[in-house]
Amino acid sequence: MPFASRHDSPPPALPADHAVFILDRYGCIVAIDTEETPFGTFRSQDLIGKHYASVYSGSEESALLQAALNANSADQPARLETWLQQRHGPRIRVEVSMHALKDRNRQPHGFAMVMRDIHTHKRLQDRLRECERRFRLFAQNVTDAAICMLDERGTVLDWNVGFQHLTGCSPQAIVGRSFSTLFSAAQRASELPAQLIEMASNDNRACMECELTRGDESFLGEVVLEAVHDSDDSLLGYALIIHDRSQQQLAERRLREAREQIVHAQKIEAIGHLTGGIAHDFNNALQGIISSLELASLCLDRRHTMQAKRHVMVSLDAALRAGRLTQRLLSLARRQTSSSQRTSIAKVLASMRELLGRTLGDDIVLDVTFSDDLPQLACDSGQLESALVNLAVNARDAMAGHGHLSMSCRVCCPDDSSVQVPLDPAQAAYAEITVTDDGPGMSEETRSRVFEPFFTTKPEGHGTGLGLSMVYGFVTQYGGAVDIRSMPGAGTSVLLYLPCYDTALEAASPNHQKPAPKLRGCRILVAEDNQTIRHSVATRLRQLGCEVVEAASGGEALALLANATSWDLLLTDLDLPSVDGCELCSQARKHFPKLRVILMTGYADAQWLDANEPDGAMEVLIKPFDMGELLAKAQMLLQVER
């Protein structure tokens, strides 16, 4: 029966997961706080008068009453966790506490037994312990990542095996210390660890690549910091996960180097294709020089001055033609960092006409057509030439050495109806360079794979399969696109779309150039170790009224610079003995900051020129050159305000 109240108002209701039993001194139930016992066990009237042990399913409950009597002297309740068999259902876990009831003489005359359902709570605790066990097992077996638990201040509390493997730091050295000790001195000084804590605290997660320490070395690591909260959303600390990215960084660098090597290999392959034809043309040019000079010598002996001059001019023209051939080869072979430059497509196509004429053979009809007013392109000229050579050689091989090959160029817009590949609509104009052959064409399956690296239809040993993939990479690198149109028996057309420089602003602005100044009276230092070149350049400048001083080495030029009060122009070779042209230029600028410089070179040193691009006070002059080019650059430099 329910408890009788000694108060006017009923006692506070117990929680639904509690039950109270009143026992006599022998452990028999004399009262229950409710008509229906909780947890779906028994009805109250079925338990009155029965021993309390009949409620439980275990044997340990018989000791509970004795434990309560033993605890009586300390006035402490006896507690026990046990199993309770439900009337209609499985067993559940309960917490039982037994309190001794005493009379006025403090002698026990009965007991109050309080039962609480802890089954759900215990089940959650078991699951949590199992999750923790599995997590620790997982974390401890992870060796390629460092996993740490931090408190809310960033102090290391726990770690896994991978932590010591990754950082080289022993547990004794890091537990209890701030995780900031894992970072390099520079990143600690910049307070990066504190910033990560703040980010994770505000956003629950922070992720960043950082410079970390491993003994006396440093390495690149990906640091992930996750905030950990309890059920009340209070911050407990952070989970720190570190992945070593140094191997990935090394692999990426090696991949870049491999790509550069492949690009250079393609250039060398293109040069190999050109070598035979260029050797023929170069020998013809040399023969023209030799024959013309011999005729000029004979004419001078006979005092036929005008005829001698004509033969000398023929010789000069042949020499310049030979120089252009070597420049094309150097442009193709030069290792350089790709950069967006102003490239004249008209000049590139003109050079293709000259380079490919002999290379393709007499049975290939080459037709190169373009207008002289084509805009400049935003790409590297050497890579464009290499791409066109590869396309031409592929076409020659496809035609088996007999057929017609054409190259042409036009300007188009991204929304042009004839363009069949997507182009950037933000780009004002593109140059469409088309290379067409009348070979056997290709199937749709072959056409869909031509840009795949190492894919080739040529016999084994006759192709790397990298040519078209490198052409595709070059064009897309500069924001362009490639289209291939071909059908079996209908030939092939490869269309390269490259962005043009926007020349609208240049066309709109007037060109207020100052009239070219006369060189008479200018003080010029000529530093060149080749006596023939030095003498001819100095002689021509003296003929124009310049004061010229000659130096055969970089050291001699430095001494002359130091002993003079002023110079207008330094004309130096890039490759000089004792002190090279680069160092000479640098030292000269220290003594004379406004000094104008012309660097002469037979081979453009890409690394130096990329790092020291010619400015308004410096120009590069590629050998061989004629005196007109030299004088034009000198006049252009000297007209700049000094």
pLDDT, tens only, 171-188: 677 888 889 888 988 888
> Which amino acid is it at 322?
A
Does domain 18-123 fall under CATH 3.90.1200.10? My reply is no
pLDDT for the residue numbered 551: 93
CATH class of the domain comprising 523-638:
alpha beta
Band the pLDDT of 41: cuts 50, 70, 90.
low
Band the pLDDT of 427: cuts 50, 70, 90.
confident
CA distance 329 to 382: 9
Band the pLDDT of 3: cuts 50, 70, 90.
very low
Residues 187-195: contacts with CB within 8 Å, 24+ apart?
187/211, 193/154
Q: Among 149-163, 167-181, 334-348, where is mean pLDDT lowest?
A: 334-348
pLDDT for the residue numbered 436: 93
Q: Which two tokens stand for residue 156?
A: 């290391």
pLDDT for the residue numbered 6: 35
Pick the CATH number of 142-244 from 3.40.50.10490, 3.40.50.1820, 3.30.450.20, 3.90.25.10: 3.30.450.20
pLDDT for the residue numbered 547: 92
pLDDT for the residue numbered 58: 53
Residue 403 φ/ψ, nearest 5 degrees? 155, -165
More confident residue, 13 or 50: 50
pLDDT for the residue numbered 73: 46
pLDDT, tens only, 212-229: 888 788 888 889 998 888
Start-to-end Cα distance in the chain:
114
Q: Locate the domains of the chain by residue range.
A: 18-123, 142-244, 336-506, 523-638
pLDDT for the residue numbered 57: 54
DSSP state of 462: S
Band the pLDDT of 35: cuts 50, 70, 90.
low
**What SS3 state is found at 217?**
strand
Non-local (6+) Cβ contacts of 402 within 8 A are 363, 364
User: Does the fold of domain 523-638 match that of domain 142-244?
Assistant: no
CA distance 465 to 454: 4
CATH numeric code, 336-506 = 3.30.565.10
SS (H, E, C) 185-223: HHHHHCCHHHHHHHHHHHHCEEEEEEEEEECCEEEEEEE
Helix (H) or strand (E) holding 578: none
pLDDT over 70, % of the chain: 69
Q: Among 4-13, 81-90, 358-367, 403-412, where is mean pLDDT lowest?
A: 4-13
More confident residue, 411 or 39: 411
Band the pLDDT of 313: cuts 50, 70, 90.
confident
Q: What is the mean pLDDT of residues 52-61?
A: 62
